[in-house]
Amino acid sequence: MDKRAVVTAVLCVMAALGASAAMTKVVPADDGKAPGQVKAAPRGASPAATPLPSQAQSSSQPQAPAGSRSSAAQTPGASASPSAQGGPTAFTGALFEGDVTGEHFCTATVVHSPGRNLIVTAGHCLRAGRAGEGGASFAPAYADGRAPYGTWKLAEVFEDPRWSDGTNDDYDLAFARLAPDASGRNIEDVTGAAVLDTTGRTDEQVTVTGYPSDRKVPRTCLSRAVRLSATEQRFDCADFPGGTSGSSWIAADGKIIGVLTGGDTDDVSTSTILTGYAAELYARATAGGAGAAGGGR
Give which of 119, 123, 94, 84 is closest to 196, Cα–Cα.
119
Report pLDDT digits (tens) over 104-155.
999 999 999 999 999 999 999 997 543 223 568 999 999 998 999 999 999 9
Looking from the CA of 267 toward its CB, the CA atoms found within 13 Å total 7
Give the pLDDT confidence score for residue 41 in this predicted structure.
27
- Give 24-66 as a DSSP string: --EEE---SS-TT--PPPP-S-PPPPEEE---SS---------
- For 195: left if phi > 0, alpha if psi spans -120 to 50, otherwise beta; the answer is beta
Instruction: Please tell me the distance from the alpha carbon of residue 113 to that of residue 152, in angstroms, as a whole number.
Output: 16
E strand segments, the chain? 26-28, 50-52, 92-97, 104-111, 118-121, 126-128, 136-140, 152-159, 174-178, 205-210, 219-224, 226-227, 232-236, 248-250, 256-265, 268-272
Instruction: Please tell me the distance from the alpha carbon of residue 170 to that of residue 288, in angstroms, as a whole number.
Output: 24
Give the pLDDT confidence score for residue 89 in this predicted structure.
74
Report pLDDT digits (tens) over 77-96.
433 333 333 434 799 999 99
Give the pLDDT confidence score for residue 113 in this predicted structure.
98
218 touches 259 (CB < 8 A): no
Give the pLDDT confidence score for residue 289 in this predicted structure.
52
Dihedral sign, Cα of residue 274, residue 278, residue 279, residue 280: positive
Instruction: Please tell me the distance from the alpha carbon of residue 144 to that of residue 269, in angstroms, as a whole number.
Output: 25
Dihedral sign, Cα of residue 280, residue 80, residue 247, residue 71: positive
69 touches 59 (CB < 8 A): no
Give the pLDDT confidence score for residue 69 in this predicted structure.
20
Give which of 158, 164, 161 is closest to 288, Cα–Cα.
158
Give the pLDDT confidence score for residue 209 in this predicted structure.
95
- Per-residue pLDDT 10s for the chain (297 aa) are 444 343 333 333 333 333 333 323 344 444 333 222 222 223 233 444 555 544 333 333 222 222 222 223 334 443 333 333 343 479 999 999 888 888 999 999 999 999 999 999 999 999 754 322 356 899 999 999 899 999 999 999 999 999 989 889 999 999 999 999 989 999 999 999 999 999 999 999 999 999 999 999 999 999 999 999 999 999 999 999 999 999 999 999 999 999 999 988 999 999 999 999 999 999 999 996 544 333 343
